[in-house]
Amino acid sequence: MDQYPDENEEFELQYQDELELLEDLPDEFNAYDGPSTSKQAAEKQKENRAPVAALRDSTRLGNSTLGSPQLSQITFGASQLGGEEEAEGTSSGGQVNRRLFGTPKGPPVGRGCSTPFQRMPAIQELENTQLTSRSYGLEKENAAANQLQEVGLKNVNKRRLERDLFGDIDDLFHESYEDPMVKKARTEEQRDHEAIERILELRRKMRESSKTLRKDDVSRLKALHDFKMRNLSYEIPNWPFLAIQRSDLERIYVRFHSEDYEQRQLDLISARGEVVGSLLGEAKDKIWQEAGEIVLSRATAAEDADVTLVNSNANSEPGRLWVDKYKPRKYIDLLSDEMTNRSLLYWLKMWDKVVFGKAFHSKREQEAVTGEGGTAGGAANQLNSFNKRTGKFESNGGWRQRKSRQALNTNVDALGRPMQKVALLCGPPGLGKTTLAHTIARHAGYNVREINASDDRSPEAFKLALENGTQMSSVLNEDKRPNCIVLDEIDGAPRQSIDYLVKFISDAVYTKVKAKGAKAEHNVLKRPIICICNDVYDPALRPLRQVAFVVTFPPIDAARLAERLVKIAFKEQLKTDFGSLIALAEKSGNDVRSCISSMQFFNAQKHSLTLQDVLNNNLGQKDRHQGLFAVWDAIFRIQRPRKTLHTDANKVDEPAQVTMTNTSVTTRVRNVLEVVHSSGDYERLTQGVYENYLQQKMPDPNFTGVCEALKWFCFTDTVQHQISRQQNYSVYPYLQYGFVAWHLLFATLAWPKIAFPTRGFEFQQKSTNQRNIFQALCKGVTTSALGVGQGGTLLLDTVPLLKRILSPQLRSVAVQLLSPKEQQDLRHTIEVMVDLGLTFVQVKSQEGHYVFQTEPDLDALSAFPGYTGLSLPYFSRQLIAREVDLERIRRAAPKGGAPSAPAAKKKTSGAAAQLPNHLQTLKPKPISASNMHSAPKQQLTKDFFGRITHKSTSTNSAEESKTDAIVKSPIWYRYKEGFNNAVRKDVHIHELL
């Protein structure tokens, strides 16, 4: 009855040992470094083990348990008496028991220590004495049987402890692989390429984790097994041995080793952990077991996911937006370009050294670690601290940093960070840039902290948020994930904030040292920062663009977006087809947000989404600005894909009897209106159409189309004039319909040849130059030459003929040698030029020659191609220029006579000053003078009174004589009718005195 539980225990031991053997065989084979004879012995052992695995296993276990007590008994028996031998044997067993049961975590450590300790004295004593006797064997067999039972019980206890430890490790192991498993499944469903890559990545991760686990927990078992295989054999080996016979009469050969071999064994034990770690990941059995567990966990995860999906559908269906509901939450779900996704993920992984303490380049880093000679204990400490506490996590990071510094990777700096500290995602809105940043950061193990840079506009708030994000972590964060900062809409941030960000990235050490004064701590950037913007070429982003890792978003593939929309429609039970969704994607410019919102809109109306609905609705139309050439292409070219789509529309609209031609024209009109509306510069667009429409190949024999087009140009000009002069913007929309008319008249299927319109601009420039020259000419005309007219009359009538008037035929000789006629002509020319303010000025032409041209330039005015201007030769111009200057000096000479004119004025003023005095004294006379003036008129009218005429003349002469008398002498006599006794004379006062 006692033997029955023993058999059960042996069965369990058999099962576990089989697994261990299967796992350990390739490792042993690879790692065995002994001589050739040892290898042959190992091979023989394998061959012997293959046919009778079960029996050999059980017998081996029994031998192993018997071996150690036998060795100990032999040694004691040889040295001392039989009775004392028995007593000592029991005491040694008691010690072993106490050690094993003394501490709960002690058993593996104790066992690891006890085995080599016991082996060493046994080997030495055996070498000294080689006595063997059957009688001693029999007594010892009895004692061995008792000890065997005790050892078996102890072994059972140890195995249970290992199970507990291993079970926990397995749980941790499986939890870490949940996400990649889900993603792996989806990749297999979607694309082979991604699936292969992800499988490889998962395998690498599994190897790493399996290696780390193996080092920690299974190394002891493996070491023990290796020891047994090298030192025990069932057949006669080549090395020196001691033959021992068990109770079932089977012989066991125990190996003898020299002292040198003992030293080598000690060295191997010290290096064994690394070897084990490096080889464990490639064990097939382990991988198979893990695969099975993965499948089981995936099934359970799928069930949980289904349950959660059902719950979420039931709960959040009424009021949740599809844009949030179907947002990508895992790396597999991202719609953007895979290269873009991988490049950003690679950049984030480059931060793993600094943030997580992981090796970015796994193979090189691991070799470096092994090369450094780290002990298994050190590795265990490292892993333990990673699993348990966060405090030692940083210290491990520092340790890794030292290693990576020695590696000197060109893509990272001395601290292990990537050279580009910031990633800058740029692209048009609606492509999923923010979603990509969040998903990849979460996938890489970060806690995403988003800062909308356009909301926190002040530099102080920006600085505070940036420092808090990089140097703090959330207390409520149960996952203990480090922060990754996402600066959304960075192009809306003020320039000061971006400047601070650039300093924060590059000069963090300097600023911190300055800020903290004497402190030696350097607060370097240890967290990645992702910036998102729409326009990467914004002036404010220039300093950031130079130091950042710029990721440009290409447009999303319409087919890929349509596939995603099909899935969403299927889940939400919206009836639609793939073609309609492709049209929706193309219409919105592959804008994910716009497409999903449009689908939700149609679902709310409880209609099925058809191609006609997509084409007819204005949903998804964003304010997109197109270039000038794109608009001109749309005007001069008929787009073929539109026809194809309308063919489908035609089929759909068969009940409505919509014909092909009408649909086509309608679509063309709508397309042109949309394209023209997207770019608002109608005047420039009109100029471009005007300068290019005559070069289009059009079958128009009678100019009917050209006339129609030009009528529309006149209409556009009238409306444009109305807008600019009257500010009547209510007529602004009518400008678009001119483009529709030009499209219908001149569009073809061929590719149009369009040149940028420059003639209008050149025309305006030339007109401005002509106007300026003409104004200069008008200002130069003196007041004595007003007969030439003003304004347009001067330009049209005078200037063309003036060129001929100023072109006399002169011989190239000196002035004095000219004929009288030539001199007269020369004089005339000079006077005309001075009157009009013209002269000849010597300038250098473009060819380098010196020429005389009029100032202002008459040759430029009214200069038509094929018509000559002034026809004077060089010498004549030079001569006339000199003479014109002389004439100007001569005309300015009267101004030199100015000093005489003031003198004359003074004299005249003096005379005027004197005259009033006389006039004042003669005041009564003017009245009589006026009377005399009237009198002669009367006389003249009356011809019969000749005497009156004489009287008037006599009075005039009398006045003159009186004035003379008054001027000459002080005495004057005035005759009055009546008394004559008054005589007046001037008397001086001094005569009276």
Q: How far is the CB of 803 from another protein (least distance, A)?
A: 8
8 Å CB contact between 581 and 550: no
Residue with smaller CB distance to another protein, 277 or 856: 856
Residue 494 annotated in ligand binding: no
Phi and psi dihedrals of 987, rounded to 5?
Answer: -125, 130
427 closest CA partner among 550, 518, 511: 550
Q: For 243, which DSSP code?
A: E
774 binds another protein (CB under 8 A): yes
Residue range at the interface with another protein (CB under 8 A); choices 56-64, 369-377, 451-459, 718-726: 718-726
- Please choose, from the candidates 709, 713, 624, 715, the residue with its C-alpha nearest in 3D space to the C-alpha of residue 675: 624
Peptide bond preceding 69: is omega within 30 degrees of 0, i.e. cis?
Answer: no
Contact between 784 and another protein (CB under 8 A)? Answer: yes
CA 714-719-724 angle, 5° bins: 125
* Residue closer to another protein (CB basis): 765 or 914: 765
Smallest distance, Å, CB 790 to another protein?
A: 5
Contact pick of 804, 905, 906, 942 for another protein (by CB under 8 A): 804
Q: Does 296 bind another protein (CB under 8 A)?
A: no
Segment contacting another protein (CB under 8 A): 114-122, 279-287, 367-375, 825-833?
825-833
User: Which residues are CB-contacts of 729 (< 8 A; sequence separation ≥ 6)?
Assistant: 723
Q: For the CB of residue 928, give the shortest distance to another protein in the complex, in Å.
A: 21
Nearer to another protein, 629 or 703 (CB): 703
Report helix, strand or coil for 448.
strand
Residue from 282, 285, 577, 831 binding another protein (CB under 8 A) = 831
State which of positions 76-95 bind another protein (CB under 8 A).
none
Min. distance of Cβ 918 from another protein in angstroms? 21
430 is in an annotated binding site: yes
Q: How far is the CB of 680 from another protein (least distance, A)?
A: 19
Among 778, 870, 932, 948, binds another protein (CB under 8 A): 778
Pairing of strands 241-245, 251-255: antiparallel
Report if residue 975 touches another protein, rule: CB under 8 A: no
Candidate list 753, 771, 933, 950; residue touching another protein; CB under 8 A: 771
E strand or H helix that includes residue 255? strand 251-255
Tokens 């601070």 sit on residue:
500
Q: Does 905 bind another protein (CB under 8 A)?
A: no
- In 821-916, where do the E strands start and end? 839-844, 850-855
If the CB atoms of residues 805 and 903 are measured against another protein, the closer one turns out to be 805
Q: Binding of another protein at residue 729 (CB under 8 A)?
A: no
Closest CB to another protein among residues 51, 791: 791
Residue among 390, 391, 389, 407 at smallest CA distance from 353: 407
Tokens encoding 608? 């099925």
The one-character DSSP state at 787 is: G
Closest separation in Å from C-beta 963 to another protein? 25
Q: Please select the residue that binds another protein; options are 73, 341, 862, 876, rule is CB under 8 A.
A: 862
State the minimum distance, in angstroms, from the CB of residue 703 to another protein.
Answer: 4
Residue from 661, 726, 783, 816 in contact with another protein (CB under 8 A): 783
> Taking a C-beta distance cutoff of 8 angstroms, is the pair 839, 854 a contact?
yes
To another protein, the closest distance from the beta carbon of 805 in angstroms equals: 5
Judged by CB under 8 A, which of 15, 537, 570, 703 binds another protein?
703
User: Does residue 789 bind another protein (CB under 8 A)?
Assistant: yes
- Please tell me whether 374 is known to bind a ligand: no
Which residue has 């703090």 as its token pair? Answer: 472
Strands 422-426 and 549-552: parallel
Q: Is 431 annotated as a binding residue?
A: yes
Helices 3-31 and 219-231: crossing angle, nearest 10°?
Answer: 90
d(CA 799, CA 836): 11
Residue 575 assigned to a binding site: no
| Segment lying near another protein (by CB under 8 A), choices 492-500, 788-796, 890-898, 950-958 | 788-796
Site membership for another protein, residue 680 (CB under 8 A): no
For another protein, which is the closer residue by CB, 557 or 831? 831
Please identify, among the stretches 187-195, 255-263, 642-650, 772-780, the one whose residues bind another protein according to the rule CB under 8 A.
772-780
**Closer Cβ to another protein, 547 or 832, answer by number:** 832
Smaller CB separation from another protein, 573 or 702: 702
Q: Which region holds residue 441: left if phi is over 0, alpha if psi is between -120 and 50, else beta?
A: alpha
For 85-109, give the secondary structure using H, E and C.
HHHHHHHHHHHHHHHHHHCCCHHHH
Tokens of 737: 């319909």
Residue 717 is a binding residue for another protein (CB under 8 A): yes
* Nearest in space to 234 (alpha carbons), one of 99, 62, 425: 62
Whole-number minimum distance, CB 836 to another protein, in Å? 8
* C-beta closer to another protein: residue 125 or 825: 825
Site for another protein in 863-902 (CB under 8 A): 863-865, 867
Instruction: Based on the shown chain and the rule CB under 8 A, indicate whether residue 798 belongs to the binding site for another protein.
Output: yes
485, β-bridge pairs? 449, 529
Q: Where are the alpha helices (DSSP H) in 837-894?
A: 874-892
Q: Does 976 bind another protein (CB under 8 A)?
A: no
Q: Could you say which of 796, 843, 886, 919 contacts another protein (CB under 8 A)?
A: 796
Q: Which one of 101-109, 292-300, 364-372, 789-797 is the stretch in contact with another protein (CB under 8 A)?
A: 789-797
CB 504 within 8 A of CB 528: no
Q: Nearer to another protein by C-beta: 61 or 810?
A: 810
What residues contact 721, with CB distance under 8 A and at least 6 apart?
Answer: none
Q: Quick one: which segment of 430-438, 735-743, 795-803, 969-977 binds another protein (CB under 8 A)? A: 795-803
Torsion angle (degrees, nearest 10) of CA 797, 799, 802, 806: 180
CA dihedral 331, 335, 341, 344 (to 10 degrees): -90
Residues touching another protein: how many (CB under 8 A)?
Answer: 68
Q: How far apart are CA 247 and CA 484, in angstroms?
A: 69
Alpha-carbon dihedral of residues 767, 771, 777, 780, nearest 10 degrees? -160
Write the DSSP assignment of 465-508 as a string of letters.
HHHHHHH---SS-TT-PPEEEEEETGGGS-HHHHHHHHHHHHSH
Would you say 428 is a known binding-site residue? yes
Minimum distance from residue 827 beta carbon to another protein (Å) = 9
Q: Please state, in angstroms and rounded to a whole number, the distance separating the CA atoms of residues 48 and 41.
A: 11
Residue 598 structure tokens: 């449009």
Which segment (251-259, 708-716, 850-858, 932-940) binds another protein by CB under 8 A? 708-716
Q: Which range of residues in 360-368, 576-584, 824-832, 847-855 is near another protein by CB under 8 A?
A: 824-832
The distance of closest approach from Cβ of residue 775 to another protein in the complex, given in angstroms and rounded to an integer, is 8
Cβ-proximal residues to 429 (8 Å cutoff; 6+ apart), any chain = 534, 591, 593, 622
Q: Which is nearer to another protein, 482 or 752 (CB)?
A: 752
Q: Contact with another protein (CB under 8 A): which of 641, 701, 820, 896?
A: 701
Q: Binding site: which residues? A: 427-434
Q: Which residues are annotated as a binding site for ATP?
A: 427-434
Contact residues: another protein, CB under 8 A: 690, 694-695, 698, 700-704, 706-707, 710-711, 713-714, 716-718, 720-722, 724, 759, 763, 766-767, 770-771, 774-775, 778-779, 782-793, 795-798, 800-802, 804-805, 807-808, 821, 825, 828, 831-832, 834-835, 861-865, 867
